[in-house]
Structure 1
């Protein structure tokens, strides 16, 4: 069932298979690879942009902390100047203003500090005051009220200094430091830092222009470099702040902005940077769409060219398929392909097909001729069997006539000759049991001894386990016949022949050994049509080749004394007969 379902989805034609191969192994993997590469490029650009923005935020945080340190050191340095303390102690003039000499002194002291803050010294404002009034200030606006409030706050809170942040139109970071002369406080030093102006000026030098926001712990926006711009969503900022370890950046998928966060622990502030990705990536999504459209167009063009190429290949194959169907169904073996319609590899294939059909036509014609010859030979064989069957029937009539007249010798002669004739006429049997072949040899020996007055003594040596071994029909009888007719001279009285069968491993060895005068092995194995000499041995050798395909051998050996040994080696095949009832 599963194979039938799977076969339904597997393309059957060459065109569809090539198309499926192209889609599965070229188009789809190449498309996925392009998408992966594009995403990797986009991710790499985002990562580089995120690291750069995070690095800029870290640099701003470090510089803010450094500037705070410089402001504090400058204020401490001023508070330790005796001339500044003396100017604060002298107080105001009778008209409520600061004497000109004291102003010049304070101005000189402050101008000595300002070079430390270059090139942003214009963003720092210094104010010198006692606890009741302002003596000197570089600020253009009137800050007397706020200064007196800060001084009073320091005294009430018993603190040496305080950092404050002013909101509204003039957002500044202010350091107020108490100046002491002895135990009582003599006055204060106030330093106002326009950090928003500094932040805007500093960001303008960065390669990536971020929108910066300063937020407190409650996520209230204190200030920013881009008025009117909305800060990133709180959930995105919280997610970035709460992750451990904190990543360098995150992407707001709604606005497609890259968000970075850096903390300023001394102020409990957070610096939040926001950069629209489209500012840096520009038309990258549009380029992506155009790229994939171009890729699809090229892929469709490639598929079209592939189908044209496949059609060029499959057209002659389909023609060849039709021709082969004609060969099978209509048996038109003279069918040929027109070679002038092909070229290249297809021409070679067409020539090969034409040669194949020509060879098939020739082989079939040859098979027809051989079939007619076989029929003629079978007819001749049937005709040739008529006379031997007539002779066999006549022989049986003579045998029973001799038996009725109690002529035992003639009866046994006819019986033995009948066994030989029946075995020779049985053309359906090629292999006999060893015991049956021994029976044939005994029948043949009986006839020869009757003819030669019992000159020959034939002994049989074989193990009972080999009596059902299969050997070629009439394989031992020709060897015994050869020994009787060629091994002994007419005066020799002691004529002995030994028929022997032994097994050596998986081989069966048959031997016929005589004690005659010996024969010429070359003459014995060479057929002589005039005297019929050697035909039996030659026939035996050829039958062994046909039956055992080179696994059997036959040889004639002159023995050490006198006589000849004929030896056959063949595979050992045991065929036990079925017992009755099996």
Structure 2
């Protein structure tokens, strides 16, 4: 999975920085900006909806007040004794005077209703078929009889109904069609009855709802569109637009339950709020244009996104330039590093072109190349010195080889003349010389080191006329323990020359080798003069010389402080103690021939 994702992540540092800026700066910024705009849009819509709800509540109260005002005007006319008396005296005074007085009474009622800033039109019919209205002077209508007006839908429904009044919403009838063109009226049809329940006149009070609604909403800061629908969703006050009617019809149930709820049209251009009028079973709905308050929100979104993209592009270009200025020196450094081998490290970066951290990097690179050149030069010198030393070692091996060949000649010559002792001395001395020629190994098996000691002791025993003996005590399983080559010979030599050389007879050297845990302990003791007497006998130096110093240095180099060499006094004689780590090595299996077999 990780390998698959690695293909999506660029390898170049410059491209990585670019992708990182895009993923972690620009995209989050765009998301936050979009989220902020969405929140701002939601807040604006909520605030607008609250204002619209308050305005609808205000209009609702005014409409209900109008309704109760019209009912009050009806009751006032029904209880006006003068009006009832005039309507009943049709033959006692001239028709024009009576009509003028009755219409003046209607005009007084109209004026009181028009204090609510609503156009009012009142029509009255008496039992004799006379028609009275409140049309302004100059407006003419065709002469009609009361019987014709009673055939109109509103009066016809009232006459056939048992109710004393009813409300209707209708277009102007033929009586007002020429005087009030294009109006939408909300009318009260009522029967004016006396105390005995008899009807003495028919009344219609019509309110021009469209004109009233326009006049009362002119004071609002934002021009809005208002719709009136009845309880069944049929339009009362609405432009003839079936699509809007269908949209509003789907909102009625929500507005009836919660007047604070609002809807937004699919294009996001308008907010719809509504309120239910239970006394009239009406719905009052307003449409608020969003662009009237803050402009087109979608245009604002596009503008913000364009601004964000332009800003992001400028930011990317600036960051790309900065990253390029940072990565370019790194590419130059990479190029210089590639040239190191081809130019034999004679490469440097011009420091004058860099500043800050890049200047420190250039200085570090130049310092590194200089140190590498010095180190290589030093290694070359050491290599030349090693070659010279190796040459000298090869030259120095020529003499031991010559001596070894000479010893072999002496050995065979002595054996040919029957001198067995000289032959054996030559053979043991040859073993010592042959072991010295093998300079490759620093550690040898303990058994090999003991064989060299036996050869050395054999030679020294002839020299001192067999005046001392050697006792070997070696622990079990230590034959293949590793021990520094020629580490025991200097100790045995020290015991012979400084301890037993002045004894006439009875000298004894004890070689004790034991293994304890992870340590190998070698003790070589003698019963000779001891440390103090040996020093007094020599008169010049104590019982330690070049051999012991050389052995101590080799132990220090091989074991890094984990080995030690001590000379300890005994009641008679001296003991040399060599304490080193125990390193056991497995012997070669029989049949393995990793070295030359010289037994035959």
Category of TM-score, reference length = shorter chain: 0.7 to 0.9
Larger mean Cα displacement after TM superposition, 135-144 or 552-561: 135-144
Match of 2:586 in 1: 576
Looking at structure 1, the residues matched to 557 and 150 of structure 2 have their Cα atoms a distance apart, in angstroms, of 130
Measure, in 2, the Cα distance between the counterparts of 1:57 and 1:346: 64
- Alignment partners' CA distance in 1, 2:8 and 2:290: 52
Moved more, 140-149 or 411-420: 140-149
**1:474 and 2:486 are equivalent in the alignment:** yes
CA distance in 2 between partners of 1:313 and 1:80 (Å)? 99
TM-score, with structure 2 as normaliser: 0.73
Choose the corresponding residue for 2:547, options 508, 532, 536. 536
Structure 2 counterpart of 1:291, from 283, 307, 332: 307
Deviations 1:406-426 (A, max 9, x none): 655545444433333222211
Partner of 2:287: 273
Indicate whether 1:166 and 2:170 are aligned. Answer: yes
Residues 447, 294 of structure 1: alpha-carbon distance in 2 compared, 3 angstrom cutoff: same
Match of 2:525 among 506, 514, 525: 514
| 1:534-580 alpha-carbon deviations (Å, 9 max, x no partner) | 322332233234334x252214163686643523233x433323434
CA separation in 2, counterparts of 1:42 and 1:345? 42
| From 217, 220, 228, the counterpart of 1:203 | 217
Hey, what's the Cα distance between the residues in 2 that align with 1:5 and 1:57? 54
TM (norm. structure 1) is: 0.75
Of 295-304 and 161-170, the range deviating more from structure 2: 295-304
In structure 2, distance between residues paired with 1:41 and 1:343: 41
1:474 aligns to what SS in structure 2? coil
How is 1:439-454 mapped onto 2 (pairs within 5 angstroms)?
439-452=451-464, 453=466
| 1:92 aligned onto 2:104 | no
322-331 vs 75-84, which deviates more? 75-84
Aligned residue for 2:578, secondary structure, equals strand
SS at match of 1:122: coil
Corresponding residue for residue 447 of structure 2: 435
C-alpha separation in 1, matches of 2:490 and 2:481: 19
Q: CA deviation at 1:386?
A: 1.4
d(CA) in 1 for partners of 2:150, 2:99: 22
CA contact (8 A) 1:50 1:249 kept: no
The answer (yes or no) to whether the contact 1:123–1:198 under 8 Å persists in 2 is yes
- Structure-to-structure mapping, 1:332-481, within 5 angstroms: 333=345, 352-400=364-412, 409-452=421-464, 453=466, 455-464=468-477, 466-481=478-493
Contact 2:491-2:548 within 8 A present in 1 as well: yes
- The answer (yes or no) to whether the contact 1:476–1:512 under 8 Å persists in 2 is no
Q: Cα deviation per residue 1:306-328 (whole Å; 9 max; x = unaligned)? A: 377358736xx63x666655541
SS at match of 1:252: coil
Q: What's the offset of the Cα at 1:381?
A: 0.8
Task: Give CA deviations for 1:410-453 in whole Å, capped at 9, x if unaligned.
Answer: 45444433333222211122222233333333433444444442
- 1:48-81 alpha-carbon deviations (Å, 9 max, x no partner): 3422443344334433442343244445556666
CA distance in structure 1 between the partners assigned to 2:507 and 2:469 by the alignment: 7
Structure 1 unmatched ranges of 5 or more: none
1:384 to partner: Cα distance:
1.0
Q: How many residues align?
A: 551
Contact 1:177–1:189 at 8 Å: present in 2 too? Answer: yes
Structure 2 Cα separation of the partners of residues 239 and 436 of structure 1: 112
Shift in Å at residue 494 of structure 1? Answer: 6.0
Distance 1:67 1:458, change over 3 A: same
Q: Distance in 2 between matches of 1:441 and 1:150?
A: 148
The answer on whether the counterparts of 1:502 and 1:510 sit within 8 Å (CA) in structure 2 is yes
Is residue 497 of structure 1 aligned with residue 497 of structure 2? Answer: no
Q: C-alpha root-mean-square deviation of aligned residues, in Å?
A: 4.8
Residues 34-58 of structure 1: CA distance to partner in whole angstroms, max 9, x if unpaired? 5435433543443234224433443
Q: Does 1:553 align with 2:568?
A: no
Give the Å deviation of 1:273: 1.0
1:249 corresponds to which of 253, 263, 269: 263
Q: Closer, same or farther in 2 for the Cα pair 1:31/1:214, shift >3 Å?
A: farther
Distance across 2 between alignment mates of 1:485 and 1:210: 130
- Relative distance call for 1:53 and 1:409 in structure 2 (3 A) is same
Gaps of 5+ in 2: 173-181, 593-600
Deviations 1:296-348 (A, max 9, x none): 6734752674377358736xx63x666655541243x5565666676766666
State how far apart, in whole Å, the 2-side matches of 1:131 and 1:436 are. 157
Distance 1:278 1:65, change over 3 A: closer
After TM superposition, give the deviation of residue 191 of structure 1 in Å: 4.5
Deviations 1:141-172 (A, max 9, x none): 88973798545523533335433212362212
2-side partners of 1:80 and 1:367: how far apart? 126
| Residue in structure 1 matched with residue 118 of structure 2 by the alignment | 122
CA shift at 1:385, angstroms? 0.9
8 A Cα contact 1:241 1:261, kept in partner: no
| Distance in 2 separating the partners of 1:161 and 1:503 | 130
Q: Matched residue of 1:519: which SS?
A: helix
Report if the CA contact (8 A) 1:210-1:273 is conserved: yes
Q: CA–CA distance in 2 between the matches of 1:81 and 1:354?
A: 112
The CA distance in 2 between the partners of 1:243 and 1:402, in whole Å, is 135
Q: d(CA) in 2 for partners of 1:51 and 1:339?
A: 64
SS in 1 for 2:483: strand
Q: Confirm or deny: 8 A CA contact 1:519 1:564 kept in the other structure.
A: no
Q: CA 1:65–1:509 in 2, change beyond 3 Å: closer, same or farther?
A: same
**Partners of 2:291 and 2:385 in 1: how far apart?**
94
Alpha-carbon contact 2:117-2:215 (below 8 Å) kept: no
